[in-house]
Chain A
Amino acid sequence: MNRLVVLGIILIAFCAGFFKTSGYHAAAGFERPSKAVASKSGVRFQSSFASSKKHIQTHAASEIELKDGRVRTFWFSGSREGARDVEIHSAVFDPVRELWGAEQAIATREGTELSLMRYISKLGNPVAGRAADGTLWLYFVTVSMGGWAGSSITTMTSVDEGETWSAPRRLVTSPFLNISTLVKGAPFFYSDGTMGLPVYHEFINKFGEILRFDKTGKLIDKQRLSAGKDHGLQPVLLPRSANEALVLMRHTGDDHRKVISVTTRDGGEHWSAPAKTTLSNPDAALSAVVLTDGRMLAVLNNQEQKRDALSLMISADDGITWENVYQLEDQRDQLLEEQHYLKTVAGLAKDIVATDVGEYVESVKSPMCTGSDCRFEFSYPCLIQAQNGDFHLVYTWNRSFIKHVWFTQAWLDQRLKESGHD
């Protein structure tokens, strides 16, 4: 072929390439969440179930505050984790009426498959975020082959606060068959309006990453947070200032399990080596937020084995030391023989629901009891602070329901005063 023709094609191609890169820019520090207004609702701490379907497994809840102050929650639900009938469900909590709306399926495997025009074998963790233009984005895990290590991320958007959703679209985040990117942590903003999404990788090696999206939702960058023996998964980013942030991650190692942390002092350009924190971790997800005064509030299973206890913890020194504020769940010393277990579950359910306690207990039995042995699980927390200062926490309750805990700043202040951490 004529060399001039080849040179001409090279020129045109690279002009297109350089034109595409001209709109890209480096990250410009972190955006701190907007200041919460003091709540007028006084001391409040109350629980309910966000999910309503019984005799089904639920897991991996995420939530986001809507523009009118309501809270929309997402989770996956099906006959068991990883089953082909798993769907992404959603429901809305109205704090004024103190009521949950009807649970609805917003993404199914079959519908996602048709929209993505590719085979999908199962759905997984959903995470919600709001872009700079106000659009809601839902990121959720989809798998085409293998287990969770074969995951990719799929997105949907909503311009009406989650009432309706766009067709799902696939994110391409990995060069190797686009496998092994999963999502759990909440999105955050950079000061230039671009959005960061903490994700993690599980195939061959396990490590945390951050994906960065431009204002239109296009993926424009990714950055590795951890590598080596201290495997960190499910990162949660806590911005301390424009340049400083702490990332907490689930520990997947075999022994001395502690929450893994990495930090940055240059707006996310570089990250420190992973280090173990003082928080214990039984290879389970955690959630955390930064309070307006800079303190950090976290929810996690603060133990090295099992997920049968869930703690609300606070740090006043940028995550170096943590104090227990409140024990949200604690079934560590319970007998796990079926009859006693179901009695205990009934007692717990009575504190949350007024009717149908027997049905709730029966729903828990199937996923949590094997033979005559049963177990408790309170896991995968997601904590947010609403614009009015109230906190909304959702988490997996014995793999059967998504529990919602609503507490106010006044309740937190009272707890801190009582426990001497004020």
Chain B
Amino acid sequence: MINFTDMTGLASSAVAITAMAVRLPGVVRLQRTYFGMLACVIVIVVLIPFGGLPLAACMRGWIGDLSIPSLVLLLLSILRPVCACPPGGELHTPSPGGVGNRGDRSKYASLAMIAIAALGLYPMALGIGYFDPYRLGYGNSWFICGLLLIALAACFRQLPVVALTIALAVLAWGVGWYESNNLWDYLLDPLLAIYAISALARAGIHTLWKLRRG
């Protein structure tokens, strides 16, 4: 009998593979119905064991279980063409108008928080000095209080995506969604960190380019 946390972990890997597959050039141009059907087929296929392990399990071996923000982003990127969601939820492309509207504010606030958290967490967790912030993720009350304040601030600053993502990550950790017992693993993962830092860098270069051109 497969464990609950293995199911959630495999599902997260399946979502990651599917999100990559539906970005292939031919797939992007498919009609909405065919696109949705293909996405479903990919999810099922990567969960079927071939030679002992499903493809999702191989992916899980390499990248681990995706954090909740990663999962939300990838799900949005798969569902957007199917449900024709407004581009406000899109986080991967800098919008032409710069950083002005609410959707952009939410997007860049999320990216900045992820980048700051990653730049603070990973170097120290990998051994720069004695302080290990990863330790805070094992139920440190002050850490959770800090996250609560950030979530509330985001809510009142009209950044609901930021607030909800933090809340969902804490909820997932509270109910033991994944096999990790550390809250950081629900908030952040290295792939998300790379994405956030590169997206911010790209947006920064884009803005600089626009300023230079007047």
* Interfacial residues, chain A to chain B (CB-CB below 8 A): 1, 3, 6-7, 9-10, 12-21, 24, 110, 113-114, 116-120, 144-145, 169-170, 172, 174-178, 201, 203-207, 218-224, 227
CA distance A201 to B155 in the complex (A): 39
Q: What are the interface flags for B48-71 relative to A under an 8 Å C-beta threshold, 1 for contact and 0 otherwise?
A: 000011000110111111000000
Taking a contact as CB atoms closer than 8 A, the residue among B130, B141, B151 that contacts A21 in the complex is B141
CB–CB A172/B171 < 8 A: no
A149 CB, nearest partner CB in chain B, Å = 11
CB–CB B167/A172 < 8 A: no
Which B residues are CB-close (under 8 A) to A203? 126
CB–CB B60/A18 < 8 A: no
Which A residues are CB-close (under 8 A) to B127? 201, 204-207, 227
CB–CB B62/A114 < 8 A: no
B144 at the A interface (CB under 8 A) = yes
* Interfacial residues, chain B to chain A (CB-CB below 8 A): 2-3, 6, 9-10, 52-53, 57-58, 60-65, 121-122, 125-132, 134-135, 137-141, 144, 147-148, 151-152, 155-156, 160, 163-164, 166-168, 170-171, 173-175, 178-185, 188-190
- Given A10-B151, A118-B61: A170 and B52 interface contact (C-beta under 8 Å): no
Which A residues are CB-close (under 8 A) to B134? 174-175, 222
Which A residues are CB-close (under 8 A) to B128? 205, 227
Chain A minimum-CB-distance residue to B187: A175
- Given A7-B155, A205-B128: A220 and B62 interface contact (C-beta under 8 Å): no
Taking a contact as CB atoms closer than 8 A, the residue among A14, A17, A20, A170 that contacts B179 in the complex is A170
CB–CB B61/A145 < 8 A: yes
Which A residues are CB-close (under 8 A) to B62? 119, 144-145, 177
A156 CB, nearest partner CB in chain B, Å = 14
CB–CB B190/A177 < 8 A: yes
- Given A7-B155, A119-B60: A24 and B139 interface contact (C-beta under 8 Å): yes
CB–CB B135/A10 < 8 A: no
B144 CB, nearest partner CB in chain A, Å = 5
Which B residues are CB-close (under 8 A) to A221? 135, 138
Which A residues are CB-close (under 8 A) to B184? 175
CB–CB A120/B163 < 8 A: no
CA distance A224 to B129 in the complex (A): 9
Which A residues are CB-close (under 8 A) to B170? 13-14, 16-17
CA distance A146 to B126 in the complex (A): 17
- Given A10-B155, A176-B125: A219 and B138 interface contact (C-beta under 8 Å): yes
B203 CB, nearest partner CB in chain A, Å = 24
Which B residues are CB-close (under 8 A) to A15? 174
Given contacts A15-B174, A177-B63, 7 further A-B contacts (CB under 8 A): A7-B152, A17-B173, A20-B174, A117-B9, A175-B190, A178-B185, A201-B127
CB–CB B130/A176 < 8 A: no
CA distance A205 to B122 in the complex (A): 12
Taking a contact as CB atoms closer than 8 A, the residue among A6, A13, A177 that contacts B64 in the complex is A177
CB–CB B135/A223 < 8 A: yes
CB–CB B126/A227 < 8 A: no
CB–CB B182/A172 < 8 A: yes
Which A residues are CB-close (under 8 A) to B3? 117, 169
Which A residues are CB-close (under 8 A) to B166? 10, 13
Which A residues are CB-close (under 8 A) to B171? 9, 12-13, 16-17
CB–CB A205/B126 < 8 A: yes
Which A residues are CB-close (under 8 A) to B168? 9, 13
Which A residues are CB-close (under 8 A) to B164? 1, 6, 9
CB–CB A16/B181 < 8 A: no
CB–CB A113/B52 < 8 A: yes
CB–CB A110/B174 < 8 A: no
Taking a contact as CB atoms closer than 8 A, the residue among B129, B139, B156, B167 that contacts A20 in the complex is B139
CB–CB B185/A172 < 8 A: yes
B88 CB, nearest partner CB in chain A, Å = 11
Chain B minimum-CB-distance residue to A25: B139
Which B residues are CB-close (under 8 A) to A144? 61-62
**Best-surrounded residue of A118, A119, A178 (most CB of chain B within 10 A):** A118
CA distance A1 to B103 in the complex (A): 12
**19 sample A-B contacts, Cβ–Cβ < 8 Å, listed by A number:** A3-B160, A10-B152, A14-B144, A16-B170, A18-B141, A110-B52, A113-B57, A117-B57, A118-B9, A118-B58, A144-B62, A172-B180, A175-B121, A175-B125, A175-B182, A219-B138, A220-B181, A222-B134, A227-B128
CA distance A201 to B126 in the complex (A): 8
CB–CB A19/B60 < 8 A: no
